[in-house]
């Protein structure tokens, strides 16, 4: 075993975090020390240490685990040291199956301080899978206990969120567990101002969320994050019963769904959720809150059609140069006017333009790219030579890495023969480890560069013909197809228009766009 290539995987569990909160030793450092002692006892050379800071439920939420699994599948590691098998996968059966299969197909051993698991030994495999099953069962039990505890706290009037709503700060409850909310005087004034504007208007004028946003931004009142106000933020504030001394539970519970073969998470607003009396004081009186709810119910957003098709060929591509948000299409079907491209954020003064005009400018920019940036044959030859040079450098680094690993393996012989003391052994081992890490990093960097050069050649060969094809057939395509092809060719488009068009004149205000194509640098 000692001549193999081994990695170490460290991850905190929820129980570890609770233990640290009680003042116990930092978990990863303790586990790392234990596994290095195990490696020394088994004469195993650890080439890499992977530390997972997050405690995600699924593999998709654990980037370090994803990287380790990818390397395991490539056969890089002969074994992985871990404190217990439960640290590898605590998610659902799909994730556990992915982990089990990766170790089994690559014949990678799992090494713990008490046992070595061979995934291709039927008894070890059964023991390993049973360990994962028990881990999942324990995780679900802990999660249910935590959820029950959080719900019980909400019903007691305690605030269980990490981030307080605008207008409040989160404070510890004296002589009790948990937190409640305390009004922040300056922000509380703004909350009351927003509710009064929406409920009663200003100087006889009705004030909707867009007008309130303009008013707050004109007064240079910052949001909780220090940015500009937008209508959705105001609507969320007006809907939130926290301002009348209530608490909501499970209004936006996390839900899972499978999209394109991957598990994705979303937090849709629930139609039914629990509302409890809070321990915190109200900022808004009940009468004003009811008036706002009545007005909000009359101004519900239109439901999004499930069969909605793309009508904006530039959808998702055009970026407002002033505020950085994506610009959208505004139709004028009732008046017969042409659709315009606008920045949807009310605080932004970037002027809109007819969508067709911007579309024409984008096509002209693509035509210029075709004219000015056609790839010369010599360019492809240069990139091919670069790839050959990089491959030679990669081969040299791999040879160097192999030599360093042999040197590190021989350290154990010198230790056993008494030539090296433990201190000298560890010093030399760490030095070689640093050299191995440097060589490994250089290998990965060279592989990335080779892949980038190969991709550059491919994109260069495909990009101009795709542009020419788009220009030839553009007028025959529908909006979704135009948008699909444009997104293949363009990363994004910056848009700027400082002045409005002057009515009854033939001269329009200047529009500036900058098209960023998906071509290699």
Handedness of CA 161, 167, 170, 176 (dihedral sign): negative
Structural domain contains residue 329:
no
The yes-or-no verdict on residue 431 having pLDDT over 60 is yes
State whether 113 and 217 are in the same domain: no
Q: What pLDDT sits at residue 373?
A: 58
Q: What pLDDT sits at residue 59?
A: 73
Task: Indicate the residue among 266, 298, 330 that finishes a domain.
Answer: 298
The yes-or-no verdict on residue 16 having pLDDT over 60 is no
Where are the alpha helices (H) located in 299-376, listed in sequence order? 355-372
Mean pLDDT score across all residues of the chain: 81
State whether 113 and 203 are in the same domain: no
Structural domain contains residue 346:
no
Distance CA 87, CA 108 (A): 16
pLDDT tens across 277-301, in order? 999 999 999 999 999 999 888 876 5
Distance CA 77, CA 45 (A): 11
Average the pLDDT over each of 10-19, 169-178, 417-426, 503-512 and give the range with the smallest value: 10-19
Distance CA 113, CA 44 (A): 12
Reported as a pLDDT band with limits 50, 70 and 90, residue 509 is confident
Task: Indicate the residue among 453, 473, 496 that finishes a domain.
Answer: 453
Structural domain contains residue 459:
no
State whether 140 and 203 are in the same domain: no
| Percent above pLDDT 90 for the chain | 23
Reported as a pLDDT band with limits 50, 70 and 90, residue 90 is low
| Residue 474 DSSP one-character state | G
Reported as a pLDDT band with limits 50, 70 and 90, residue 361 is very high
Tell me how far apart the terminal alpha carbons of the chain are, to the nearest angstrom: 46
The yes-or-no verdict on residue 113 having pLDDT over 50 is yes
State whether 134 and 178 are in the same domain: no
CATH of the domain at 244: 3.90.1750.20
Reported in sequence order, the residue ranges of 402-508 that DSSP labels E, i.e. its strands, are 490-496
Among 353, 345, 342, which residue's Cα sits nearest to residue 323? 345
Structural domain contains residue 445:
yes
Reported as a pLDDT band with limits 50, 70 and 90, residue 164 is very high
Structural domain contains residue 520:
no
State whether 282 and 420 are in the same domain: no
Most confident listed range (5-9, 29-33, 93-97, 240-244): 240-244
Which of the pair, 52 or 128, is modelled with greater confidence? 52
Q: What pLDDT sits at residue 436?
A: 85
Most confident listed range (227-241, 256-270, 360-374, 492-506): 227-241
State whether 129 and 246 are in the same domain: no
Average the pLDDT over each of 283-287, 374-378, 471-475 and give the range with the smallest value: 374-378
Distance CA 284, CA 291 (A): 11
pLDDT tens across 212-257, in order? 988 898 888 989 888 888 888 999 999 999 999 999 887 766 665 6
The yes-or-no verdict on residue 270 having pLDDT over 70 is no
Question: What is the average per-residue pLDDT within 335-358?
Answer: 85
Which of the pair, 19 or 320, is modelled with greater confidence? 320
State whether 198 and 147 are in the same domain: no
Reported in sequence order, the residue ranges of 365-502 that DSSP labels E, i.e. its strands, are 490-496
State whether 149 and 176 are in the same domain: no
Distance CA 122, CA 64 (A): 28
State whether 145 and 221 are in the same domain: no
Angle between helical axes of 422-473 and 355-372 (0-180°, round to 10): 110
State whether 58 and 123 are in the same domain: yes
Structural domain contains residue 491:
no
Which of the pair, 323 or 133, is modelled with greater confidence? 323
Q: What pLDDT sits at residue 241?
A: 92
CATH of the domain at 47: 3.40.50.1390
Most confident listed range (218-232, 306-320, 350-364, 404-418): 350-364
SS3 state of residue 426: helix
Q: Number of structural domains, the chain?
A: 3
Task: Indicate the residue among 298, 318, 352 that finishes a domain.
Answer: 298
State whether 186 and 89 are in the same domain: no
The pair of structure tokens assigned to 220 is 């240079």
Structural domain contains residue 1:
no
Please tell me the total number of residues recorded for the chain in this structure.
Answer: 521
Q: What pLDDT sits at residue 377?
A: 47
Angle between helical axes of 231-239 and 286-298 (0-180°, round to 10): 130
Structural domain contains residue 501:
no
Q: pTM of the predicted model, to two decimals?
A: 0.49
Task: Name the phi and psi angles at 291, rounded to 5.
Answer: -60, -45
Reported as a pLDDT band with limits 50, 70 and 90, residue 22 is very low
Domain that holds residue 196: 168-298
For the chain, how big is the Rg over CA atoms in Å? Answer: 31
| Residue 219 DSSP one-character state | T
Which of the pair, 404 or 81, is modelled with greater confidence? 81
Reported as a pLDDT band with limits 50, 70 and 90, residue 441 is confident
Distance CA 92, CA 492 (A): 38
Handedness of CA 337, 338, 344, 350 (dihedral sign): negative
Task: Name the phi and psi angles at 327, rounded to 5.
Answer: -85, 155
State whether 180 and 60 are in the same domain: no
Partners of 80 in the beta sheet? 7, 110
Task: Name the phi and psi angles at 486, rounded to 5.
Answer: -60, -40
Question: What is the average per-residue pLDDT within 198-210?
Answer: 88
Among 473, 512, 507, which residue's Cα sits nearest to residue 365? 512
Owner of token pair 């008894």: 123
């Amino acid at each position: 075993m000692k001549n193999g290539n081994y990695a170490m995987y460290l991850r905190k569990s929820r129980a570890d975090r609770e233990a640290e909160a009680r003042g116990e030793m930092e978990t990863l450092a303790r586990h790392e020390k234990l596994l290095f002692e195990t490696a020394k006892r088994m004469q195993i050379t650890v080439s890499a240490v992977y530390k997972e800071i997050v405690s995600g439920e699924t593999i998709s939420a654990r980037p370090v685990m994803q990287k380790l699994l990818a390397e395991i599948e490539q056969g890089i590691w002969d074994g992985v040291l871990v404190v217990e098998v439960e640290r590898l996968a605590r998610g659902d059966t799909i994730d556990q199956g992915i982990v089990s299969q990766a170790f089994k197909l690559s014949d990678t051993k799992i090494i713990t301080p008490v046992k070595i698991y061979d995934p291709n030994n039927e008894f070890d495999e059964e023991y390993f899978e049973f360990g994962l099953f028990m881990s999942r069962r324990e995780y679900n039990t802990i999660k249910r206990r935590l959820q029950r505890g959080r719900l019980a706290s909400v019903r007691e009037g305690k605030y269980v969120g990490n981030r307080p709503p605008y207008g409040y700060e989160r404070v510890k409850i004296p002589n009790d567990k948990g937190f409640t909310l305390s009004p922040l005087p300056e922000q509380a004034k703004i909350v009351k101002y927003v509710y009064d504007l929406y409920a009663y208007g200003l100087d006889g004028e009705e004030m909707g969320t867009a007008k309130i946003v303009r008013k707050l931004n004109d007064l240079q009142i910052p949001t909780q994050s220090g940015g500009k106000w937008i209508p959705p933020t105001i609507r969320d504030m007006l809907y939130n019963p926290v301002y009348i001394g209530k608490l909501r539970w499970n209004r936006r519970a996390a839900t899972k769904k499978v999209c394109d073969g991957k598990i994705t998470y979303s937090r849709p607003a629930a139609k039914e959720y629990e509302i409890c009396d809070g321990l915190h004081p109200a900022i808004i009186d009940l009468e004003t809150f009811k008036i706002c709810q009545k007005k909000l119910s009359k101004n519900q957003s239109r439901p999004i059609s499930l069969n909605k098709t793309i009508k904006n060929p530039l959808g998702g591509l055009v970026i407002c140069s002033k505020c950085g948000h994506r610009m959208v299409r505004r139709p004028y079907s009732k008046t017969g006017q042409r659709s315009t491209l606008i920045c949807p954020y009310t605080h932004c003064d970037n002027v809109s333009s007819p969508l067709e005009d911007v579309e024409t400018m984008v096509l002209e920019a693509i035509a210029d790219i075709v004219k000015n940036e056609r790839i010369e044959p010599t360019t492809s030859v240069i990139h091919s030579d670069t790839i050959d040079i990089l491959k030679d450098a990669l081969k040299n680094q791999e040879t160097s890495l192999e030599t360093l690993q042999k040197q590190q393996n021989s350290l154990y012989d010198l230790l056993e023969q008494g030539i090296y003391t433990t201190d000298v052994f560890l010093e030399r081992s760490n030095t070689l480890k640093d050299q191995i890490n440097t060589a490994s990093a250089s290998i990965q960097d060279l592989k990335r560069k080779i892949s980038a050069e190969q991709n550059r050649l491919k994109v260069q060969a495909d990009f101009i013909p795709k542009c020419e094809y788009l220009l030839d057939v553009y007028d025959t395509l529908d909006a979704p197809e135009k948008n699909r092809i444009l997104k293949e060719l363009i990363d994004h488009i910056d848009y700027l228009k400082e002045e409005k068009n002057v009515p009854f004149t033939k001269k329009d205000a200047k529009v500036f766009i900058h098209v960023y194509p998906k071509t290699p640098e």
